[in-house]
Amino acid sequence: MRDVVIVGGGPVGLFLACELGLAGCKVLVLEREPDPRTAWKALPLGMRGLNAGSVEAFYRRGLLSALGVPDDPHTSPRNLSHFAGMTLDPAKVDVATLPSPALEGVMTSLEAVEAVLSERASSLGVRIARGVVVDAVVQDDEGVQARAGEQVYPARWLVGCDGGRSAVRSLGGFEFVGTRPQLTGYSALTTIADPEKLNGGFTLTPRGMYLRTPIEGHIGIMDFDGGVFDRSQPPTREHLQEVLRWVSGTDVTLSEVHRASSFTDRAMQTTTYRQGRVLLAGDAAHIHLPLGGQGLNLGIGDAMNLGWKLAATVHGHAPEGLLDTYTGERHPVGARVLDWSRAQVAVMRPGSHAPALQKLIRALLETGDGTTHVFEQTSGLSNRYDLGRDHSLVGRNTPDFRLEDGTRLGELLVEGQGVLLDFRGELEGIARGWKGRILHVAGKAQDDLGLDAVLVRPDGVVAWAGEPGQFERVADRWFGTPAAVGAPMNETAHSTTVQGKDHQERR
């Protein structure tokens, strides 16, 4: 029996599979599509943006270089997102106030992300089965089964990462609630006979919004039709031209449509991310308008949060209630993203009040505070889990502390363990009780922010920052009781107390 079956082999399912494989779990991924290579995942239609939070996640697992991104992503922002089509000026971001150093997002494609994650998952012993359509989910106190026709896939746990029309969500009996759509959106690769009639970039109009990207013929349209067209029929050339002319207020001509898809701004979320031994992540747990790539990034955050908690549960050393903190921490984040999406729709919605609202938003984006706030929201840097208020860092994405020998915290998180940065060298004896779960690193930092020590969870969230006497209580809460309880999370780690660069010799 597998430890975990993941239904859905997109970026979220594959990232979660990598997290579990890194922790030594036996994982099977079931993907309904037989071929991972499709035009919808390749550029330009598969273009996606990894925000700063997702870049941080890939960095902390040593995966940035495989995406063609420098290993150190920490730089001042050069290209930012937008709010309802109103672009942000990087020069107005107040870098000093940001809670995380990862500032630069990355433009990539679903194809590239899935290729990197598939290769990593396979190297970690994860099996990926393609062309498998799950049509039943059955669970009891001992385990869970995913069924595809006559084929049965048993496991101790099952995670649905199978997208906005999730079969696992439906079969698992999850309640899915939210708001109905107000628009139909289109993404299309076309041949435009007279492209000079369309503006470049985002253009808000009295009838909606359209986008013309730098890629020739690649357009997006948002038409406030109540969402009635979406998936009701194929978006033909004639229909797309009619909608584009209506929204843009021009007589532009589409001489050919090569590929096109539609979507809506329906904003829905499950009331819980766990039902017994079945969990959800990514679009299976929440859907919303795919404006600014928030869906992919929200899903990667889910996988990063869930992976180490589920692995600890599998190995038997998770403290009581650890797995339930997945819903407790990620559900509020998903709810905020859904509200952020709804707010953008409200700003774009045609009507007599829209120009005044858009004027107000543009004025706010002319200020440093306004731009910084919007950037924090869209980059994922504003998240803070409610882990207690012992220190302002607790619950936040950790700074990338750099030790005096040049070692960065991001390098220490690559193997998926927690990390105890012991700046005063006073916790080695106590930390031994969590060998294999917490990597103890003793040494001074170039800037320790006035702290004696910092405990960082495997997902890069600060669990504790304070005086040494409080460490054991917090370690118990997140990593279970000390000493050997079940198998260690990382069998390859034969030493968990290291000095700076020595961590690279542990393999």
Average pLDDT value for residue range 150-169: 98
Whether pLDDT at 230 is above 70: yes
| CATH number of the domain encompassing residue 436 | 3.40.30.120
Whether pLDDT at 485 is above 60: no
Whether 116 contacts 69, CB under 8 Å: no
Only one residue has tokens 């004696």, namely: 452
Residues 414 and 497 in one domain: yes
Whether pLDDT at 163 is above 70: yes
Q: Domain residues for 139?
A: 2-46+54-65+112-177+268-350
Residues 261 and 273 in one domain: no
Q: Give the C-alpha separation, 51 to 298, whole Å.
A: 10
Whether pLDDT at 152 is above 80: yes
When pLDDT is cut at 50, 70 and 90, the band that residue 75 belongs to is low
Is 380 part of any domain? no
Residues 283 and 164 in one domain: yes
Is 204 part of any domain? yes
Backbone angles phi, psi at 401, to 5 degrees: -55, 140
| CATH number of the domain encompassing residue 277 | 3.50.50.60
Query: Final residue of a domain: which of 265, 286, 321?
Result: 265
The pLDDT of residue 378 = 84
Rg for the chain, CA atoms, rounded? 23
Instruction: Please write the tens of the pLDDT for every residue from 31-58.
Output: 999 999 899 899 888 989 888 889 999 9
Whether pLDDT at 503 is above 50: no
**Closest to 398 (Cα-Cα) out of 41, 8, 57:** 57
The pLDDT of residue 493 = 36
Instruction: Please write the tens of the pLDDT for every residue from 350-386.
Output: 999 999 999 999 999 999 999 989 988 888 777 899 9
Is 141 part of any domain? yes
Query: Final residue of a domain: which of 318, 333, 350?
Result: 350
The pLDDT of residue 501 = 52
The pLDDT of residue 469 = 80
Average pLDDT value for residue range 257-267: 95
Residues 122 and 166 in one domain: yes
Q: Which two tokens stand for residue 49?
A: 């943006």
Whether 3 contacts 16, CB under 8 Å: no
Residues 117 and 238 in one domain: no
The pLDDT of residue 416 = 97
369 exposed, middle or buried (CB, 10 Å; 0-12, 13-18, 19+)? exposed
Only one residue has tokens 């079956």, namely: 5
Please provide the DSSP assignment of 24-85 as one string: T--EEEEES-S-S--TTTSTTTTEEEE-HHHHHHHHTTT-TGGGT--S---S--SS--EETT
Q: Give the C-alpha separation, 250 to 198, whole Å.
A: 8
What percentage of the chain exceeds 70 in pLDDT?
Answer: 91
Residues 280 and 150 in one domain: yes
Average pLDDT value for residue range 286-292: 89
The pLDDT of residue 470 = 85
Q: What integer best gives the mean pLDDT of the chain?
A: 91
Residues 418 and 498 in one domain: yes
Q: Which residue intervals of 211-263 are DSSP H helices?
A: 237-248
The pLDDT of residue 294 = 82
Whether pLDDT at 500 is above 80: no
Max intra-chain CA distance, the chain: 74
| CATH number of the domain encompassing residue 225 | 3.30.70.2450
Instruction: Please write the tens of the pLDDT for every residue from 113-133.
Output: 999 999 999 999 999 999 999
Whether pLDDT at 101 is above 60: no
Is 164 part of any domain? yes
Whether pLDDT at 200 is above 80: yes
Residues 121 and 190 in one domain: no
Residues 6 and 60 in one domain: yes
Is 104 part of any domain? no
Q: Give the C-alpha separation, 323 to 311, whole Å.
A: 10
Is 488 part of any domain? yes
Query: Final residue of a domain: which of 265, 291, 325?
Result: 265
Whether 478 contacts 402, CB under 8 Å: no
Total domains, the chain: 3
Average pLDDT value for residue range 409-432: 94
Average pLDDT value for residue range 173-184: 97
390 exposed, middle or buried (CB, 10 Å; 0-12, 13-18, 19+)? middle
Residues 451 and 439 in one domain: yes
Q: Which two tokens stand for residue 442?
A: 């003793």
Q: Which residue intervals of 258-323 are DSSP H helices?
A: 294-315
The pLDDT of residue 381 = 76
Other Cβ atoms closer than 10 A to 310? 25
When pLDDT is cut at 50, 70 and 90, the band that residue 100 belongs to is low
The pLDDT of residue 365 = 95
Other Cβ atoms closer than 10 A to 195? 15
Name, in order, each residue with C-beta under 8 angstroms of 502's C-beta and a sequence gap of 6 or more.
none
Is 337 part of any domain? yes
Instruction: Please write the tens of the pLDDT for every residue from 235-247.
Output: 999 999 999 999 9
The pLDDT of residue 494 = 31
Residues 121 and 241 in one domain: no
Is 335 part of any domain? yes
Residues 422 and 306 in one domain: no
